[in-house]
């Protein structure tokens, strides 16, 4: 994750396009480090590459030896994302590429989610039998109606930026 603080604006850029900007504990810790900067008036979260965020870093999870290690990683990421979500500083997710799974949990921390028209959002992790591990469900409930959210979760459907806007995910 790259970060630049200029005139009170903290620009955070997911910068691993070869991995689809997968988000894991390393990226969460980098996020947390940047949040401790003083004099932040606005945070803009964006990404480099065709995919905004492909979700959780499954390679990181595949290397684990026990389920308990995965639970611990999820706890740490959730703690950091909860801290990010609670910041009083306005946060904007500028989504210029497709966003899936944990990426949706990440942007759910932001106050405003802006997306380019060509972007798709997907809860594909549901198709793999995975669930929310980072607190995104609770944050999404504040943005998306219960019926739309439950339908999305049960089907694992991919939504266009326009459908995501009509659901309340995208501003």
Predicted pLDDT at 51: 98
pLDDT in tens, 10-65: 999 999 999 999 999 999 999 999 998 889 999 999 999 999 999 988 888 889 89
By CB atoms closer than 10 A (0-12, 13-18, 19+), residue 36 is exposed
DSSP string, 109-157: TSSEEEE-TT-EEE-GGGGGT----SSHHHHHTTTS-HHHHHHHHHH--
The token pair at 49 is 């590459």
> Which is it for strands 42-47 and 9-14: parallel, antiparallel or unpaired?
parallel
pLDDT at site 123: 85
Percentage of the chain lying above the pLDDT 90 cut: 77
Q: pLDDT class for 131, splitting at 50, 70, 90?
A: low
Q: How many residues comprise the chain? A: 171
Q: DSSP code of 128?
A: G
């Amino acid at each position: 994750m790259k970060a630049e603080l200029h005139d009170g604006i903290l620009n955070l850029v997911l910068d691993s396009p070869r991995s689809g900007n997968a988000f894991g504990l390393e990226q969460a810790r980098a996020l947390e480090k940047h949040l401790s900067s003083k004099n932040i008036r606005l945070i803009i979260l964006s990404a480099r590459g065709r995919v905004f965020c492909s979700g959780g870093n499954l390679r990181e999870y595949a290397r684990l030896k026990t389920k308990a290690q995965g639970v611990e990683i999820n706890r740490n990421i959730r703690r950091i994302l909860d801290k990010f979500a609670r910041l009083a500083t306005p946060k904007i997710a500028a989504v210029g590429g497709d966003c899936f799974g944990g990426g949706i949990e990440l942007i759910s921390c932001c106050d405003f989610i802006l997306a380019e028209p060509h972007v798709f959002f997907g809860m594909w992790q549901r198709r793999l039998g995975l669930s929310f591990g980072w607190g995104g469900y609770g944050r999404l409930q504040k943005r998306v109606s219960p019926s739309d959210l439950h339908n999305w979760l049960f089907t694992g459907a991919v939504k266009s930026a326009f459908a995501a806007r009509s659901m309340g995910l995208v501003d």
